[in-house]
Amino acid sequence: MAATQRMVVLMSTREKAALEAKARRAGKISAGELVRRAVAAYDEGIANETSELRALLDLLTATHAETLRRLETTERKLDETLAFLAGSQPRS
């Protein structure tokens, strides 16, 4: 379908340069074509899911450090217990 409507989008010089560079890397298409493709690919539901996934990733990152700390403590205590039990066994 041919583009027949015009839309003006204001952006900074830096944003425009970044848009044009992305268009070149995307197969030497125009900035307008890149914008049309981005609009067609945009899905609000996915944007919301992305936000939720980022929040879950933050939670996972926070709990991962605590899990590793607890695992190290548990391994140390296990080593101490095994050493104690090995020393309290009668020798044959």
Domain ranges (residues) in the chain: 13-42, 44-87
Q: Are 30 and 20 in contact (CB under 8 A)?
A: no
- pLDDT tens digit string along 41-66? 887 778 778 888 999 999 999 899 89
Burial of 55 (0-12, 13-18, 19+ CB in 10 A): exposed
* 3-state secondary structure at position 25: helix
Letter for the amino acid at 67?
T
CA 50 to chain centre: 9
* 3-state secondary structure at position 45: helix
Query: HSE-up of 36 (CA within 13 Å, CB side)?
Result: 12
What pTM was computed for the model? 0.49
> What's 74's DSSP letter?
H
92 vs 26: which has the higher pLDDT: 26
